[in-house]
Amino acid sequence: MRLRVTTWNVNSIRLREPLLARLVETLRPDVLCLQETKIEDDRFPYDMVRRLGFEHVYAHGQKAYHGVAVLARVPLSEPRSMRWCEIDHARHAIVGLPGGIELHNLYIPAGGDLPDPELNPKFAHKLDMLAELATWHEAHRDDRRHLILLGDLNIAPLPTDVWSHTQLLDVVSHTPVEVAALDRLQRAGGFVDAVRTVIPAEQKLYSWWSYRARDWAASDRGRRLDHVWLSPALAPALAAASVLREARGWPQPSDHVPVSVDLDL
């Protein structure tokens, strides 16, 4: 059985309904994980996503901000959410997939503009959530489990994950303290970076381009903020990975593009 899992920061599902349909037609994902849905659960467009072929849906959202959802053509089991830092933000959805897979769909805080946790509460929240997630995975690690951790992690860890490593070292999303926090989380679960397993780390690769750029493609000042990680037991199932760069040029786009992996189960 081949399973295609795609993650996409939709940046408001209501605004991107036409793009969602185009994405599904283009990629044909079996499981589509969304972040920044920006909608309450009782207003989520269940009928629309079911018309796209996703009979199984778990939405964990809130009004106007944050929100995560898992849309699937395959059955979901034990859907649930987790809260971090004692803050009621809809940032983490967990579901079971066929093959004994546990999927974690995450939206890590962006962190604001100032990379100083003493002066910027948003940056402090980002680091705190990453630390709590790492502690949780350290405590619950079992290398026999089939886990997927994915989503908008809002950190570009490698020098080739940003348009300029030197110029972005003091810019939120690529600072050394964030990269170290993300590395701790990855090590906590023994996770494998699925996309960089397929696409070499020497190759520049982005999944986000700012709306501020007059011509995003010409300037190409991107960052790889969206990730798919696999636990050690699941990593051998990885068959393919891709980033749909062209989606950034679609009408009324999200500033993020979809990232997909194929698993042979």
Quick: pLDDT tens for 14-27: 999 999 999 999 99
Output the CA–CA distances (angstroms, integers) from residue 151 to 59, 116, 210, 242, in the order listed. 14, 24, 18, 14
Sorting pLDDT into bands at 50, 70 and 90, what band is 82? very high
Q: Give the per-residue pLDDT at 67.
A: 98
- List the alpha helices (DSSP H) in 141-169: none
Q: At 142, is the secondary structure helix, strand, or coil?
A: coil
Mean pLDDT, the chain, integer: 97
Beta strands in the chain (DSSP E): 2-9, 31-35, 56-60, 68-72, 77-81, 92-97, 101-107, 146-152, 192-193, 208-209, 222-223, 226-230, 238-243, 259-264
Span 30-40, mean pLDDT?
98
Sorting pLDDT into bands at 50, 70 and 90, what band is 12? very high
Q: Give the per-residue pLDDT at 24.
A: 98
Helix axes 176-189 and 121-140, enclosed angle (nearest 10): 20
Quick: pLDDT tens for 121-133: 999 999 999 999 9
Span 30-35, mean pLDDT?
98
Q: Which residue has the tokens 């948003």?
A: 122
Domains of the chain: 2-264 (3.60.10.10)
Q: Give the per-residue pLDDT at 13.
A: 98
Quick: pLDDT tens for 186-213: 999 999 999 999 999 999 999 999 999 8
Output the CA–CA distances (angstroms, integers) from residue 95 to 56, 62, 98, 148, 211, in the order listed. 11, 19, 10, 10, 32
Q: Give the per-residue pLDDT at 40.
A: 98
Q: Give the per-residue pLDDT at 124.
A: 98
Structure-block tokens of residue 235: 């990593």
Quick: pLDDT tens for 215-259: 999 999 999 999 999 999 999 999 999 999 999 999 999 999 999
Q: Give the per-residue pLDDT at 218.
A: 96
Span 104-118, mean pLDDT?
98
Q: Give the per-residue pLDDT at 227.
A: 99
Q: Give the per-residue pLDDT at 72.
A: 98
Q: Give the per-residue pLDDT at 9.
A: 98
Quick: pLDDT tens for 164-176: 999 999 999 999 9
Q: Give the per-residue pLDDT at 207.
A: 98
Percent of the chain surpassing pLDDT 90: 99
Q: Provide the CB-side half-sphere exposure for 140 (13 A, CA).
A: 12
Q: Give the per-residue pLDDT at 167.
A: 98
